[in-house]
């Protein structure tokens, strides 16, 4: 079945350093979504990318969708302690009902 792989599993950074998480799908995705889950919390929707090669920015966060619509990345510039949490990508394939999540990247930010 379809798989969405996410790397790295963990990332520790010093506050102010940049952070990137990568997402790869075994199949072409209709679109991809990114979520953030704070420790002890629930996933919170960040953004959805639909078009091949699409790049979207939210303040210090930059999201990219690959040209082949099989990979995506989330880059955080100058991390802050408020960025701590697990970041998940999730893709729809062949429709908009079944959402396949990556295993997530847990980000720790040291002050």
Partner 1 sequence: EAQVTQNPRYLITVTGKKLTVTCSQNMNHEYMSWYRQDPGLGLRQIYYSMNVEVTDKGDVPEGYKVSRKEKRNFPLILESPSPNQTSLYFCASRRRGADTQYFGPGTRLTVL
Residues interacting with partner 1, by CB under 8 A? 1, 6, 9, 33, 41-45, 47-48, 88, 90, 97-104
CB of 97: closest distance to partner 1 in angstroms? Answer: 6
Cβ-based nearer residue to partner 1, 17 or 99: 99
CB of 76: closest distance to partner 1 in angstroms? Answer: 19
Lookup result for tokens 């908009």: 96
Backbone angles phi, psi at 51, to 5 degrees: -90, 145
Contacts of 34 (CB under 8 A, 6+ apart): 45, 46, 47, 48, 63, 72, 74, 87, 88, 89, 90
Cβ-based nearer residue to partner 1, 14 or 59: 59
CB of 15: closest distance to partner 1 in angstroms? Answer: 26
CB of 50: closest distance to partner 1 in angstroms? Answer: 9
Rg (CA), the chain: 13
Strand, coil or helix: what is 31?
A: strand
Cβ-based nearer residue to partner 1, 51 or 78: 51
């Amino acid at each position: 079945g379809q798989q969405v792989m996410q790397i790295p599993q963990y990332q520790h950074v010093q506050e102010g350093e940049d952070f990137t998480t990568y997402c790869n799908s075994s199949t072409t995705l209709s679109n991809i979504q990114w979520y953030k889950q704070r420790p002890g919390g629930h996933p919170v929707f960040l953004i959805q990318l639909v078009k091949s090669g699409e790049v979207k920015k939210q303040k210090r966060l930059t999201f990219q969708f690959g040209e082949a619509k099989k990979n995506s990345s989330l880059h955080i510039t100058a991390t802050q302690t408020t960025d701590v949490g697990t970041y998940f990508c999730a893709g729809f394939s062949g429709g908009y009902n079944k959402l396949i999540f990556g295993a997530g990247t847990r980000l720790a930010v040291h002050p």
